[in-house]
Structure 1
Amino acid sequence: MGKQAPEDILVARFTDYLAAHHDIRFPHRHSFYHLAYFTKGGGSHTIDFERFPVKAGQLYFMVPGQVHSWFFEGTIEGYVINVAGGFFNSFLQDAEYIEKFPFFSGASAEDVVQLPGEATHTVVQLFEKMLKELNGEEAYSHDMLRLLLLEMFVQVSRANRAGLATQEPSHNYVLLRNFRKLVEQHYMQLRLPKDYAALLYVTPNYLNAFCRHMLGKSAGEIIRDRILLEAKRLLINADMSIAAIAYQLSFTDNSYFTKFFKKYVGITPEEFRKNII
């Protein structure tokens, strides 16, 4: 399997990775970026409690903190990369550059990219080059790994966008990214769309209409869904009480958290925990 580099990057063939990680079918999360590319096999992959079928030519991008699990069928072949969030910091002037790629939004539906046939060959070549660099002794190998990874991100983003029927203006993607980033930073304290609208210098009505146009949901629903997602992520930790989770999510009491969770998920937090663990 690919060896671990000092800069916190691991590149491996998926068969080798599976041999060293027997428990990936259980829900778990990583503190680093996790990429998986499949060239053969089937089954399913659950990201933040949303299930996707595993198919050849598929790339999965996961950001730190996302909960995921695998259920494989048949022989699985492909590649996996684990890379620390700071891997590119000494290389790029913009520390947030990686977050600009749509598949690193942290939204499950955007994490999965089905590559068109002509792009699969390019991506496999890049994985093979990364394996060679990681296991070789060439000078500047870690800088070359950074370049190869960035090339992959650009190539995948181009291939993915080429398949879209319409292209949104770039400023729409900037606003959406900024809103999502603010929600990620403040969802435990700020629960109302007007709070985020003020931070973005737009009106609440505009923010709601914009979110419905881009995501099919209101701003309030996006904030609520982020709270529910964190609740689900915390519930996979059997050692954490429901009351402690409610407190961490800034609910006034346990009963209010339970009612909120059941209203939108359909079952109580206790039932969800029992079903998922």
Structure 2
Amino acid sequence: MVPSGQLPPATRPDLPSPEIDILELGDLTPGAGQPRPVLLDDDLLILVTGGHGIVELDFHALPCRPGTLLRATPGQVLRCPARLDAIVLRWHADALHGLDVDPAAVPHHHQLTGEDEDAVINEVSQLVVDHRRHRDDPAVRALLRHQLAVLLIRLALLPGARDSERAPDDTDPQRTEAATFRRFCREVEAGYPYTRRVEDYAARLGCSVRTLTRACLAVTGRSAKQVVDERVALQARRLLAATDEPVARIGRQLGFPEPTNFGRFFTREVGVSPGAFRAARGRSPQRIVAPRRPGDPCTPAGRA
């Protein structure tokens, strides 16, 4: 049984390549009325083809119209309005194994225009056609994997997409701090359910708390402790919005044995109690929030 609020695995018995699936936007949030946020298990690439509306990704409201490209990653929560039409590519993590491609270099929210839009639409359309026409051919698995890799590489080359992916330069303090911040984010992603102590992350990275705090302040304007606490609060918001797990159990999963401690932490970070936040999860986003910078916050993809 698939837990409430989660997508079913990206496998269907009639498809030869369960690693890569083609969906419609309505398949992500089925049902009538205001769609509920969905906790994602797989990578998604969404190309809006019709309509205007707002897609909510990790609680950021993103404006969408034809040509809008969205990339979502496992662990994020997604809510899509019914008035949008889109092609959705969904793939398992191992679909790109052995291929020289980095999905993390793809922007999470981008409005395609001009030649870029034409090229991306052509590649997505060809992938969809091959997915449908060759479903009985065993060779389609390799074809789709390479088509997806080419598409992702093309998207990584979009203007501005790779600004945050430059290799660190030891002679440039800002770029060195950005590299430290990225390493810190990776450690936080692995360790946030177990510890919120910056000292523990500094020990794992072989640096001082002061170094981590300096890097976080340089990249985000927030301290290392704030970055850790925001990551924990984000996961709490995801689970409260997209699942029916009891509040106390969610707190325990995030390292709060006592529900009162979790309630105080959540209220401090989010501004409302866990119960109030969950009660409001079905409301439509009230305003558009611009996507954060690439290192901001520490999400599984490092971007939101």
- State the TM bucket, normalised to the shorter chain: 0.7 to 0.9
Query: Are 1:113 and 2:110 matched, yes or no?
Result: yes
Aligned twin of 1:79 = 87
Matched, 1:10 2:21: yes
CA 1:168–1:157: 2 relative to 1, 3 Å: closer
CA contact (8 A) 2:105 2:161 kept: no
Q: Give the counterpart letter for 1:6 in structure 2.
A: S
Cα distance in 1 between the residues matched to 2:108 and 2:85 = 19
Partner of 1:106: none
Give the unaligned 5+ runs of structure 2.
1-11, 169-174, 283-304
The offset of 1:139, in angstroms, is: 6.4
- Bigger relative CO (Cα 8 Å, ≥ 6 apart): 2
Q: CA contact under 8 A between 1:33 and 1:63: conserved in structure 2?
A: yes
Match status 1:258 vs 2:263 = yes
Structure-2 residue corresponding to 1:45: 55
Name 1:214's counterpart in structure 2.
219
Equivalent in 272, 278, 281 of residue 276 of structure 1: 281
Structure 1, unpaired ranges of 5+: 104-109
Residues 161/263 of structure 1: CA separation in 2 closer, same or farther (3 Å cut): same
Equivalent residue runs for 1:217-256 within 5 Å: 217-236=222-241, 239-256=244-261
* 3-state secondary structure, aligned to 1:36: strand
* Moved >6 Å (runs of 4+): none
Letter in 2 for 1:198: A
> Normalization by structure 1: what TM-score?
0.82
Residues 210, 55 of structure 1: CA spacing in aligned structure 2 closer, same or farther, 3 A cutoff?
farther
Partner of 2:93, secondary structure, is coil
SS at match of 1:236: helix
Amino acid at match of 1:259: R
Against the structure 1 CA distance between its residues 209 and 118, is the aligned structure 2 distance closer, same or farther, given a 3 Å change threshold?
farther
RMSD: 2.7
3-state SS in 1 of match to 2:94: coil
**Separation in 1, partners of 2:35, 2:58:** 14
How many residues are matched? Answer: 258
- Give the Cα separation in 1 of the matches to 2:162 and 2:145: 26
Cα distance between partner residues in 2 of 1:269 and 1:20: 25
Question: Cα offset for 1:128?
Answer: 1.2
The whole-number CA distance in structure 2 between the counterparts of 1:42 and 1:271 is 30
Q: Which has the higher strand share?
A: 1
Q: Are the equivalent residues in 2 in contact too, given 1:11–1:81 (CA < 8 A)?
A: yes
1:128 paired residue number: 125
Give the distance between the partners of 1:139 and 1:249, measured in 2 at CA: 43
Q: TM-score, normalised by structure 2?
A: 0.75
